[in-house]
């Protein structure tokens, strides 16, 4: 029969021992050896090393006689060349306040003024920063702040304004068990997964690249109805040989970090989908090359080896992209809250709004202003930092392969 040990009471006396100074091997071992000489329980431990400087804190139950322990800890600290603080108190680390959020900050560069603005707004929202961790130093600086006490929706709104003012990117996600679950990543293709627009590349073969590009720009800014603009542009491709689609595919340039992002998240069991206002002839091949699970795009009509200038079937427009996200999430049995959508144009807005985490990637100003989260660095793998993955973990996994 297992002996029942009463749980530590929140009001039980505790002692906090903090060591600071140059980091070297054996510090934590020595401290725990000292603590083991008396009858105490370890309640909490936190350790941080920044450029070789150590901060190690151990919260333990207070022994009946603190003086011998304090003397032994001070002696060990002196032998290790460290400073020590010993603080008596009452109680365990109480549970964090409601409204727990993970705030991810990306800067390229990240300036002190930006951090001052963010932390001030967290405080104004009645939030407390419980922990800060660096996720990456390059190609962007990425930090994760664990915040309690503030409403995540309020934080998202307040921090987005500060981020815009200081030219950085911020994402706020509510911390809960769902953040550990499998996710579905749904991505736009043109100007997101790849650089440039496929329809403009095809237009070069038809000799109308400039005209098509101007219509594309207006559509991405939300100035034109997407379906109307698509049919208008496709009509100009009449007579282009189907071989042009193959040539465009062979010359695609992927956004920096695209392969790293997909490779990293697929290792963790994430599912991927491509939802594009582009064309199936291209999207199907990209999906096959990257091992993408789902895809949806528009079908170009081809007769006698040439484009007719028509689209076959329903157009994947703004509403169609959001519907595809929901359809693919259902097929993967992944809740909507655990979906991530990434896009750059006005036709991506419904999809970004529907996803649990919608990210405007190097988006037009009108899109960036409506999206909850944006990334304005040129690296697509910056998105993994929003999921708490560090650059060191990515590189270690690549090295293992």
On whether the CB atoms of residues 340 and 186 are closer than 8 A, the answer is yes
pLDDT, tens only, 29-41: 999 999 999 989 9
Tell whether 38 and 167 lie within a shared domain: no
Does 204 lie in the same domain as 67? no
In-domain check, residue 80: yes
If you average pLDDT over every residue of the chain, what do you get? Answer: 90
- Name the nearest CA neighbour of 127 among 111, 145, 115: 145
| Residue 346 confidence (pLDDT) above 60 | yes
Mean pLDDT across 364-370: 85
The pLDDT, as a whole number, for residue 172 is 92
pTM beyond cutoff 0.85: no
The answer to whether residue 380 sits within a structural domain is: no
Are 124 and 83 in a shared domain? no
Q: What is the pLDDT of residues 68-95, one digit of tens each?
A: 999 999 999 999 999 999 999 866 655 5
Q: Which of 180, 215, 234 finishes a domain?
A: 180
* Residues 40, 143 within the same domain: no
**pLDDT exceeding 90 applies to what percent of the chain?**
72
- Asked if 210 and 260 sit in the same domain, the reply is yes
86 and 17 share a domain? yes
The answer to whether the CB of 152 falls within 8 A of the CB of 174 is: yes
pLDDT at residue 94, rounded to an integer: 56
For residue 2, what pLDDT band results from cuts at 50, 70 and 90? very low
33 assigned to some structural domain: yes
Band of residue 5 on the pLDDT scale cut at 50, 70, 90: very low
| pLDDT band of 256, cuts 50, 70, 90 | very high
Last residue of a domain, one of 90, 110, 138: 90
Provide the pLDDT confidence category of residue 328 given band limits of 50, 70 and 90.
Answer: very high
Domain boundary among 90, 125, 155: 90
Helix or strand or coil: residue 223?
coil
DSSP 114-182: HHHHHHHHHHHTT-EEEEEEEEESSSSEEEEEEEESS-HHHHHHHHHHHHHHHT-EEEEEE-SGGGGS-
Residues 271 and 226 in one domain: yes
CATH (domain of 77): 3.30.70.260
| pLDDT of the residue at 9 | 55
Domain that holds residue 158: 101-180
Asked whether residue 151 falls in the same domain as residue 166, the answer is: yes
Residue 116 belongs to a domain: yes
Residue 194 and residue 170 in one domain: no
Q: Phi and psi dihedrals of 106, rounded to 5?
A: -120, 130
Same-domain check for residues 207 and 342:
yes
For 264-280, what is the mean pLDDT? 95
What distances in angstroms separate CA 237 from CA 34, 233, 311, one per listed residue? 78, 7, 11
Q: Do 194 and 313 lie in a common domain?
A: yes
Q: Kindly report the number of other CB atoms within 10 A of residue 398's CB atom.
A: 12
286-295 per-position pLDDT tens digit: 999 999 999 9
Which residue numbers are catalytic?
188, 190
Q: Which residue has the tokens 């599912």?
A: 271
As given in the structure block, the two tokens for residue 363 are 């988006």
How many structural domains does the chain have? 3
Average pLDDT over residues 212-240: 86
Tell whether 383 is covered by a domain: no
Task: Let me know whether 337 and 192 are in one domain.
Answer: yes
Mean pLDDT, rounded, for 175-203: 89
């Amino acid at each position: 029969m297992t002996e029942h040990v009463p749980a530590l009471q929140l009001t039980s006396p505790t002692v906090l021992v903090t060591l600071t100074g140059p980091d070297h091997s054996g510090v934590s071992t020595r401290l725990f050896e000292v603590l083991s000489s008396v009858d105490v329980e370890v309640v909490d431990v936190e350790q941080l090393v920044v450029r070789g400087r150590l901060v190690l804190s151990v919260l333990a139950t207070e022994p009946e006689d603190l003086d011998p322990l304090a003397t032994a800890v001070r002696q060990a600290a002196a032998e290790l060349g460290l400073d020590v603080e010993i603080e008596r108190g009452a109680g365990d680390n109480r549970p964090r306040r409601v409204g727990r959020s993970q705030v991810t900050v990306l800067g390229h560069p990240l300036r002190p003024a930006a951090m001052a603005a963010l932390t001030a707004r967290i405080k104004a929202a009645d939030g407390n920063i419980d922990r800060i961790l660096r996720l990456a130093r390059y190609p962007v600086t990425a930090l994760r702040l664990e915040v309690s006490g503030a409403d995540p929706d309020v934080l998202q709104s307040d921090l987005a304004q500060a981020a815009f003012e200081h030219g950085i990117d911020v994402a706020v996600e509510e911390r809960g068990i769902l953040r550990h679950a499998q996710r579905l990543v749904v991505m736009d293709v043109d100007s997101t997964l790849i650089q440039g627009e496929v329809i403009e590349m095809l237009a070069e073969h038809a000799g109308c690249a400039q005209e098509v590009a101007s219509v594309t720009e207006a559509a991405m800014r939300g100035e034109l109805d997407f379906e109307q603009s698509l049919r208008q542009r496709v009509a100009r491709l009449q007579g282009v040989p189907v071989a042009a689609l193959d040539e465009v595919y062979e010359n695609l340039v992927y956004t920096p970090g695209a392969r790293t992002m997909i490779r990293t998240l697929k290792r963790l069991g994430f599912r991927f989908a491509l939802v594009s206002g582009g064309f199936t002839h291209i999207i199907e091949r990209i999906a096959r090359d990257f091992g993408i699970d789902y895809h949806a795009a528009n079908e170009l009509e081809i007769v006698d080896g040439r484009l007719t200038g028509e689209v076959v079937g329903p157009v994947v427009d703004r509403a169609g992209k959001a519907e595809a996200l929901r359809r693919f999430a259902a097929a993967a049995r992944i809740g909507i809250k655990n979906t991530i959508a990434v896009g750059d144009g006005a036709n991506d807005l419904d999809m970004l709004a529907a996803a649990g985490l919608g990210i405007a990637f190097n988006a037009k100003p009108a899109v960036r202003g409506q999206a909850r989260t944006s990334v304005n660095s040129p690296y697509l793998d910056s998105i993994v930092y929003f999921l708490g993955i560090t650059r060191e973990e990515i590189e270690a996994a690549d090295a293992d392969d």
